[in-house]
Amino acid sequence: MEEDKGIFGFCSEKRNLFIASFFGMKEFLTFYILFLLTKGDCYGEEISKKISELLKGLWSPNPGFIYPVLKKLERHTLIKGNWTHEMSHPRYVYKITDKGTEEYKKLYKNFSIRLDEFVRVVTNVKQEVFKNE
């Protein structure tokens, strides 16, 4: 039996498209990738897995979404990638640059405020719409 996703397709039991649209914003994804790289070097698939784990499988970015963001960050010298042969097969591993760290600090301030605003709005909507439940 096929799952009823509603008229606009937002109501899937397997994927939360609200989360996908939020993490799917390239601006937020850029910020989160820079955050991950402040914690240590990563390769693309590893970044994708960390995002999937954080979101408990409600959304998983595909390589066609992650890699263009990584390449853009690299073009802007916010990150630097190098091939490593230390694993079972060669991997292109990214590390944050000094310029990337500075950009991350700016984004951190901005997203800290914006995320609080977002949570307040979502909380207000939830209370208004679902106040009787």
Domains and CATH numbers, the chain: 18-125 (1.10.10.10)
> Does 79 score more than 90 pLDDT?
yes
Which residues are registered as beta bridge partners of 84? 91
Q: Which band of pLDDT confidence, cut at 50, 70 and 90, is reported for residue 12?
A: low
- Predicted confidence at residue 1, as pLDDT, reads 47
Q: How far apart are the first and last CA of the chain?
A: 29
Q: Residue 26, class by beta-carbon neighbours within 10 Å (0-12 exposed, 13-18 middle, 19+ buried)?
A: exposed
- What is the average per-residue pLDDT within 105-131? 88
Within 10 Å of residue 44's Cβ, how many Cβ atoms?
20
pLDDT in tens, 22-71: 665 778 889 999 999 999 999 999 999 998 898 887 777 887 888 999 99
pLDDT tens digits for range 41-53: 999 999 999 988 9
Per the prediction, the chain carries an average pLDDT of: 84
Q: What is the pLDDT of residue 105?
A: 96
Question: Model confidence at 114, in pLDDT bands (50, 70, 90)?
Answer: confident
Token duo for residue 7:
């008229």
